[in-house]
Structure 1
C-alpha cells in the first residue's frame, strides 16, 4: 500500500467513535455486509448488527477508553488491506490503566471513495 494514511485515519476515527461511546459512529466504519467478531467472541454480520450490539452494551462501556495503534499493514490487493491494531486501555484523560488490552485484525476494503472494515476480529490480549 503506497499511501497508508487513509487506513491510519480510519483507525483513528474508529478510536474516536469508541471513546465517544457512539455505536452509530462505530458502525459507520463497517461495510454494509461485514463480518465482525468482538473481544467476547460474539459474531456479527453487517453494519446494522454492529450498531444494534453497540446500543446494547454502550452503557456498560461508559468508563472504557482506549488508544489504537496500527502495528502492521498488509496489502492483500489494490483495494484491500489488513491491519493489525493494538488497543491499549486508558482513562478518560488518556492515561494508561491496568485493564487488559486487546489485539485486533481489521480487513479494510475500498468502497467507492471510502474505506470500510469488511472483516474484523478483536481478541483480549493476555497480560
Structure 2
C-alpha cells in the first residue's frame, strides 16, 4: 500500500470517528480529533478559534443535541495540498422519519510527526434542497 493510500484510509478513519463520536455524543472522543490551534466554523456559522473554544462549545452543545434517527459522515473527496495537509470534502446526512437533511463540511486536516491526522480547520455548510430536486447545485 502506498503512502497516499494509507493516508486516505487514515483520513477516512478520522471522518468515521467524527460520525461515531457525534452519534454517541462522545465529547472527549470528538475533541481528541482536533489540532490544538484548530479553526472550526459550525453549520450555523459560529466561528471557534482554538481547541479551548471548540471544547467549550462542544461540551455545551453535543450532550444536549437531539435528532430523530441517525447521522452519517462520508469522506467523498480528498485532495492533498501537501503530503501532510489534505482538504477533505465530507457528505453529512441526518436521517429522520421526516426526511434527510444534508451538510457538506470541508475539513482541512494535517498530519503530525506521530502519523496521526487531525482536524485543523473545518467549515460546515447546509445543503438546501428544493422540493423535487437534488442538492442546490442541480445534481440529482
Same fold (TM over 0.5): yes
Deviations 1:69-115 (A, max 9, x none): 11111000011111000001135xxxx76242100000110122211
Q: Where do 4+ consecutive residues of structure 1 move more than 4 Å?
A: none
- Relative to its length, the structure with more strand (as a share) is 1
Q: How does 1:41-120 map to 2 (within 5 A)?
A: 41-63=45-67, 65-90=70-95, 98-113=99-114, 114-120=116-122
2:124 aligns to what SS in structure 1? strand
Across the aligned residues of Structure 1 and Structure 2, the Cα RMSD in angstroms comes to 1.7
Deviation of 1:51 after TM superposition, in Å, equals 1.6
1:31 equivalent among 35, 39, 46? 35
TM-score, normalising length from structure 1?
A: 0.88
TM-score, normalising length from structure 2?
A: 0.80
Q: Which has the higher contact order (CA 8 A, sep 6+)?
A: 1
Distance 1:59 1:75 in 2: 33
Unpaired segments ≥5 residues, structure 1: none
Q: Aligned pair count? A: 123
Unpaired segments ≥5 residues, structure 2: 130-140
Larger CA Rg, structure 1 vs 2: 2
Deviation of 1:39 after TM superposition, in Å, equals 0.1
Deviations 1:28-84 (A, max 9, x none): 111000000010000001122112101111244133631001111100001111100
